[in-house]
Amino acid sequence: MSKQSTRLLLAGLGLVALSLQAAHAADPDDMIKYRKNVMSANGGLMGASNAILQGKVGNKGQLESNAKALAGLNQDLASLFPKGTNMGDTDALPEVWSKRAEFERHAKDTQAKAAAFAKAAAGKDAAAKFKDLSDSCKSCHKDFRK
């Protein structure tokens, strides 16, 4: 097969893959609902973790699972905000899309902080790592949420 034939074949396969991906893309309204559910779960886990760390509840054994769940939910945070989900029933500001690189930096920071909290949840640094995560969430909300 010639180089040009190989390139055409690869280009064609790429187009097929993109077409399949587009065919399975979520409806914007469904994606917004999904995003809201994930963010609601994040908020619930943050609140539950905070209550444990402040000693308001005695469920210390659940801190690790909460932290792991937060790490999982925040693993690819930016993907919850694809193009086309900037309208409708959303609290996301237009800057999520117009300042995408900055938003993605915030998302990666939150991902890293969530992973660090999950790693530290069983140890003495849990409260400090939780605060780092909380500060990252607040910073992103300040710049990118209504």
* Paired strand residues for 145: 92
- CA 25 to each of CA 20, 56, 83: distance values in angstroms, whole numbers, following the listed order: 9, 42, 11
Domains of the chain: 27-144 (1.20.120.10)
At what angle are helices 28-53 and 63-73 packed, to 10 degrees? 150
Which pLDDT belongs to residue 26? 80
- CA 20 to each of CA 14, 28, 99: distance values in angstroms, whole numbers, following the listed order: 10, 17, 28
pLDDT band of 25, cuts 50, 70, 90: low
Dihedral (Cα; 41, 43, 48, 50), 10-degree rounding? 150
* Paired strand residues for 92: 145
pLDDT, tens digit, 9 for 90 and up, residues 46-81:
999 999 999 999 999 999 999 999 999 999 999 999
pLDDT, tens digit, 9 for 90 and up, residues 106-136:
999 999 999 999 999 999 999 999 999 999 9
Q: Which residues of 37-70 are buried (b: 16+ CB within 10 A; e: fewer)?
A: eebeebeebbebbbbbbeeeeeeeebbeebbbbb
pTM summary value: 0.81
